[in-house]
Amino acid sequence: MTISTSAFIAIARTGRSIAKTVSPRATFPSISLLSHHDDDLYRLSSNTVFRAYTVSPRLAKKAWDPSLDQYKYWNREDSKKGEASYVLDMSPESIQKEARILCLAAENDDANNPLTKGVLPFGAKLLKSGVAPDDFDHASIKEQRPNVLFVSPSCPHARHQLPKMLRLFPSIDWIHVRSAGIDFLESEELPVVLTARPNLVVTNAKGQFSSSLAEYVMMACAYFAKDIPRLLRQKGAKVWHDFDITELRGKTMGIVGYGDIGRAAAKLASVYGMRVVALRRNPAKSEFDPICDEVYGTGKDALQKLMSVSDYVVCSAPSTVETRGMVNADAFKASKADQVFINLGRGPVVDENALLESLKNKTLRGAALDVFATEPLPPDHEFWDMDNVLISPHNMDKTATFMHEATEFFVNENLPRFVLGDALLNPVDPSLGY
C-alpha cells in the first residue's frame, strides 16, 4: 500500500523517548487504519504508530479560505480551536516568517500574561512591552525589525501612541487589538498613517465576548417580561400579590448590528421561540441564516422599520462615524408599543436624550443599558432614578478570564497563522471601525 502525504511522523512508544521520522513519501507493505479523524493513524507494529498529517480540503477551507466570510471570524463557541497551532507543532518546517512582536499595554495588565509570560508558538518572539514609544529602545528594536504590534485597551492614551509607534517602526505589518471595539484607537492621525500603509493588516478579538453578552440580553428581556422590579418591591414589602407576566415566546427581537454579538443573541432568542429581525450593512451575508427571520439593510428607513415591529431591540452596533447618534428621536418615535430597548454595543450609538424622553413618556416600556455616552455614568444622571431602567457598569461581558482568553486567541490562533503565512482571523477595516 502506497501513501503519499506531506509528512509521516513515526512515534515510537519506547519508554521516555519519542522518536520522530519525517518522510515526504513512504511505502509500507501492511498498514491497518486505526481511525478516521482529522489526521489518520497507521499502525506498523504494537509499539509504533505512524501519523499521516496533511491538511484536508475541508480543514483547509474551514480554517484558511479567505473567500468564505464565515471562516474569517473567530467565535469561541463555534470555531475549531488550535488548527493552525497543530500544523505548526506537527510541521515546524512550514514556518514562512518570524513574528517579532511589540506589546503596547500597561505594565500591570496581567491579562496579557499568555503573551508576556507564556510559551509562544514556533517562530514568534516578544521583543518589548511598553505604553509609549519612549519605552522602546529605538535603535536596537529597529534592528530586529518588529512586524507585529499587539495593542491592549489598558494602554493609556492608546489613540495617540499607536500612530507614533507605526511611524517609528515602519516594519510593522500587522496590528492586533485585544478587544472587539477599536473606537478607543480613533484619532485624526491614524487614518493618515494607515493610508500610507495600505498593506497593514488590523485584527481584533471579535468572538470572545459574544456568548456572555447574549446571556445578558436574555436576562434583560426576562427582567421586563417577568416584571422583576415588581417582584423585588413586593419582596421588600413582604407583599403576596400575584400578577400576569409576559412570555418571550412569539415576541420579536430586533437586532441593530448583526455581527458576532448580535448573532449570539439571536441564537438564544430563537431557542426561546422568538422571531428575529436584524440590521446589517450587507444583508446578503445573512440570506441563508437559519436563526434570523428577516434582515434589513442600513439607513433611517430600515432602522425605523425594525423599531416598529420589535418587542425587544438589541443595539450591538460598534461606535463609528456612521453609527454615532444613529438611534435617535425618530427611531424611538417609530417604536412598537411597550418596547424594551437594550444597549450593549457602544453608548454613543444612541441619542441618550431621545432615549430618556421615550422612557419618560412611556413610548418605551423600559431599557437595559450596559454602555453609556459618558462612563462612568454621572451620579446625577436621571437614568439612576428611573424604575424602568436596568443599569450595569459596562461589565456584562466581564468574566474573570475574558481578557485572558482574548490574549490566548492572539497567541494560540492568530500568531500561528501569521507565522505560517495564512490569512488571519478577525480582519478589521479601520475606515469602517469594525
List residues with catalytic annotation: 346, 375, 394
Question: Strand 294-296's sheet: what is its strand order?
Answer: 294-296, 275-279, 252-256, 312-315, 339-343, 364-369, 389-391
One-character DSSP codes across 345-396: S-GGGB-HHHHHHHHHTTSEEEEEES--SSSSPPTT-GGGG-TTEEE--S-T
Cis check for the bond before 29: say yes or no (omega within 30 of 0).
no
- Number of helices (H), then strands (E), in the chain: 14, 18
Q: How far apart are CA 4 and CA 319, in angstroms?
A: 51
Q: Which of 104, 81, 181, 153 is nearest to 408 (CA)?
A: 81
User: Can you name the residues that pair with 256 across neighbouring β-strands?
Assistant: 279, 315
Residue with cell 496590528: 175
Whether residue 346 contacts residue 394, with contact meaning beta carbons closer than 8 Å, is answered with no
Whether residue 216 contacts residue 396, with contact meaning beta carbons closer than 8 Å, is answered with yes
Task: Record the cell numbers describing residue 182, joined without a space.
Answer: 477599536
User: Can you name the residues that pair with 50 across neighbouring β-strands?
Assistant: 10, 42
H or E element, residue 309: helix 300-309
Q: Which of 303, 274, 293, 163 is nearest to 214 (CA)?
A: 274
Question: Strand 99-104's sheet: what is its strand order?
Answer: 124-130, 99-104, 148-151, 174-177, 201-203
End-to-end CA distance of the chain: 51
Q: Angle at the Cα of 281 (from 279 to 284), degrees rounded to 5?
A: 90
User: Rounded to the nearest 10 degrees, how much is the dihedral formed by the CA atoms of 102, 108, 114, 117?
Assistant: 80
Whether residue 408 contacts residue 414, with contact meaning beta carbons closer than 8 Å, is answered with no
